[in-house]
A and B are shown apart, each in its own frame.
Chain A
């Protein structure tokens, strides 16, 4: 578990006063690039060393006593469910640092930003590999403060309010989450997530309450309608790197938590709440799409599109079937790649045109900045779920899952969900096409020439584009890894 250790060491080193180490912003940025690059290498090493013949087994395990008096263990490990997210986190953080080398946001010292982003990476990686409930919670919380500071320090004009809203909302969620996790843990007598997933004897009532608490905690993070209102503000105000990590990885903590913690720890509770989860997920899909359709700000629109896409992920989870959970895991990765790219592009557009307002951006971007507009078109098409690109498979599998949900769930209701979610996909296409028609088509708006795309931007975007194509054209890469552990989770059902 070298991965988490590298950014930790890197962040700690930055505590050394600037006079002693790495004077100057450029050096710090290069340093950040190096540290996150090393982390990415470690993640890629894990990817290479992972035993693909047994993806449902926990690998690279670390299991040490931490606070034996209360049974806390420092237990880390990765299986097929967490591995893709670990790699995604390392990749997106690295790409953010690549982007930062040339395009630092205004607002504060590069040193602090680098340290915060590394700290954020620790929290994210830790969340995805933690196998002890309290440890999971610790990492889950580690993420909040750096993100709060990134928004509050480097954000747009309304950053203070957005940052407050973000932290208050998510802290509320964390409180509920902790209560729910402890409720299960105390009743089951263990904090170890692998042991909980293997089966336990907890009363149904306790499970229902526990799943509600944990579910609310994770749902705020995901975010699920109607607990989403922190998200548009946070995404819109955050600097580009903040938005990318927020949408690309942070949201996934919620859905990952549902799959890894809430559903295995309280399966009967999950079964009780699944129809409600599905209902809210479907409302989120349609609501997010409609909200996008009337949105006037580019970043806000992408933020609302996240509500819709995460709706598909939540719907997948709500079906409680291997297909549905697979859909959720696939959707997580696809959304991370695509929305990460979209926010990079939105940032680039905002840098160049000085505004994210769709009316003020004018029209004819394909004429004034053909490359940038082509990238935006690609990302939008990927996001609206075109088969052959990453976004499609998650949505499609979620629909398959909803058509035949877990045997304990009301099938008719879920078929209705399926139909509504599918119509939501049409609305998704509608708002992305509206966006493209509005700003990339039409006669060229007169104005100063637009800066070309820099080498660093290319470097940050190309891996995402390549992965969107790879995962989209050959979904087996991802499904091969996730299917076995998901089946193990549900006993093949």
Chain B
């Protein structure tokens, strides 16, 4: 069991390694060598992950296996894995999305000279995420966590010839790394406090740790979660990460990276439950993120950026679920979101390939000649907005239900915070329906606004999209098996009202003139929404610029301050040697005078003091 889990991680890792080592040379023995190397291992891993998930489903319970302990002189590090229901499910989801992305990429990246390195990085990315999912030790988890960060850097910057991509890649890595530093410190606080880095052991001892320690650790961990899962205030990298190839956006937004943050909170949930202050912070950040990102999504011109902000917003929904104690609902939403967001990005990729543009204003009327993409994307957007009975409706409803319950009956976090979370969720439902409706109408309805030929994307691209449409539509029903995930009439009805309000408003505005952008009614607020409330500018002004200035000061100080001191000391010594040389001028008369003077002084001293 643990061995096959290890294989799930090692297969993509080996594929990545082989990809870097042999690269394009693989295409000589076999024309599709790099593509086979990319897809076959992850397909095998998906099968194995399914077997593991099935075994866990048959006989629930956590299974752990430790290969080896690394001595550190203090708290030892365990090289071990742990599989429970949560890990098995998320692992399976990761493998499936990664497989879809790899197959899709064969067509999307056809003709790219660096396809093999691209595919290898996707494999490494998958392996790293799987390591996060299955890790049995916090530091092992951190290894996967960081490797994912660097893979995102390489993949976002895949087309590095363009400076904009390069900047986006650097930004993604730096912003997430800033959070990761907090995450690492949180791990250290938790691990050293508990005397072990093994997740089981840490969670078992959370109760015995002082409150301050647990709260500090949970808050530090949240920094990493906010970075990876793109929550306010570390969300700014995600929209820019759209610079990467579209399949990468699907991978980052659906299955890996952003999912990791939420997954880790769910994984370490007992530690967070022991720190209500951290949960409150998580809930408030989630509200800011979900409403802010939804408003920003409403005003974006770029289809991929609409989806990017929707990711921030949906992740915040999950974070809110975790904050109010609806952890099952949050994880459920993570899974359905993985399915429908991968679907949405891959479908957007089809649209972009056909239209040759990312901009909503260049689309319109794509419905007729792209039926497969249209229907898939319709299902995806319906799931995103939470239209019953698509998967997103059931999972989001479980979260809203949990928030309502906490707000009304109390829970882990203070009542006021719970109310804010609940109202934020409802507002988000309306906003999500509005921007999903806008994107849907502007892309597929009205008159075609571009001059390109509208046709379906290549089969290798459209079929993974169609395949993903199935879980995006029906995955929700699997939740009906669990009592806490079943919808309740009251909460569901309130949610539906907000959904209709948002979606209806967007439709009415669009219907007045289908050729125009419905976002025009935002009026003077639109630029602020489009720039996502100028958070980027604030960072550039408050963080980046001062650090650059400080760096220049340090360099100047190093040469003019410290080094000048050292060199000056040497020069001073040399100068001092000048006057000291004067007595040593080789003149016997001076020497004799000095000698006599010395004798006189000594004699005088003896006479006076003795």
Contacts and interface: CB of A to CB of B under 8 A. Distances in A.
B568 to A, nearest CB: 11
Given A321-B74, A392-B143, A437-B167, 5 more contacts: A290-B550, A364-B161, A387-B146, A400-B188, A437-B166
A401 interface: yes
Interface string B136-154: 0001001101110010010
A4 to B, nearest CB: 29
Nearest to B68: A476
B185 A442 contact: no
Given A294-B548, A326-B73, A404-B74, A433 B173 contact: yes
B288 interface: no
A487 B173 CA distance: 37
28 contacts: A226-B562, A228-B562, A229-B558, A229-B562, A232-B558, A290-B550, A291-B551, A323-B72, A323-B73, A325-B73, A364-B161, A388-B146, A392-B146, A396-B184, A399-B188, A404-B192, A418-B185, A419-B185, A425-B181, A426-B177, A426-B181, A427-B547, A437-B167, A475-B70, A475-B77, A483-B72, A483-B73, A486-B73
A403 interface: yes
Contact of A479 (B72, B181, B551, B552): B72
A291 B146 contact: no
Contacts of A404: 74, 192
Interface residues of B, number: 50
Nearest to B160: A441
A409 interface: no
B160 A442 contact: yes
A225 to B, nearest CB: 8
A369 B148 CA distance: 26
Contacts of A430: 174, 547
Interface in A276-333: 287, 290-295, 321-323, 325-326
Output the residue of B150, B174, B554 with the most chain A CB within 10 A.
Answer: B554
A381 interface: yes
Given A322-B74, A396-B139, A404-B74, A426 B174 contact: yes
B257 to A, nearest CB: 15
A291 B555 contact: yes
Interface size class of A (residues with CB under 8 A): 35 or more
B75 A483 contact: no
A325 B191 CA distance: 19
A479 B547 CA distance: 36
B211 interface: no
A423 interface: yes
A453 to B, nearest CB: 15
B566 interface: yes
A322 B147 CA distance: 28
Contacts of A291: 551, 554-555, 558
Nearest to B562: A226
A400 B72 contact: yes
B160 A366 contact: yes
A168 interface: yes
A429 B173 contact: yes
Interface in B548-568: 548, 550-552, 554-555, 558, 562-563, 566-567
A294 B555 contact: yes
A359 interface: no
Contacts of A440: 160
Contacts of B77: 475
Nearest to B79: A476
Contacts of B177: 425-426, 429
B178 interface: yes
Interface of B: 68, 70-75, 77, 79, 139, 142-143, 145-147, 150, 153, 157, 160-161, 163, 165-167, 169-170, 173-174, 177-178, 181, 184-185, 188-189, 191-192, 547-548, 550-552, 554-555, 558, 562-563, 566-567, 570
Given A387-B146, A425-B181, A443 B161 contact: yes
A422 interface: yes
Contacts, number: 137
Nearest to B559: A229
Given A400-B72, A443-B161, A475-B70, A293 B192 contact: no
A145 to B, nearest CB: 19
A322 B73 contact: yes
Contacts of B558: 229, 232, 291
Interface string A218-232: 000000001011101
Contacts of A423: 181
B143 to A, nearest CB: 4
Given A326-B72, A364-B161, A429-B173, A293 B184 contact: no
A400 B166 CA distance: 33
B322 to A, nearest CB: 25
Contacts of B142: 387
A423 B184 CA distance: 11
Contacts of A295: 555
A397 interface: yes
Contact of B551 (A290, A321, A387): A290
Could you say which of A292, A293, A321, A364 has the most chain B C-beta atoms within 10 Å of its C-beta? A293
Contacts of B161: 364, 367, 441-444
Q: A165, A169, A290, A292: which has the most chain B beta carbons within 10 Å?
A: A290
A367 B71 CA distance: 43
List 9 tightest A-B contacts by C-beta distance, closest first. A322-B73, A323-B74, A293-B551, A294-B551, A441-B166, A387-B143, A441-B160, A229-B563, A483-B71
A169 B163 CA distance: 43
Nearest to A296: B555
A487 B174 contact: no
A201 interface: no
A322 B76 CA distance: 12
A351 interface: no
A388 B149 CA distance: 12
Contacts of B160: 366, 440-442
A400 B188 CA distance: 6
Given A287-B554, A404-B192, A441-B163, A399 B70 contact: no
Contacts of B174: 426, 429-430, 433
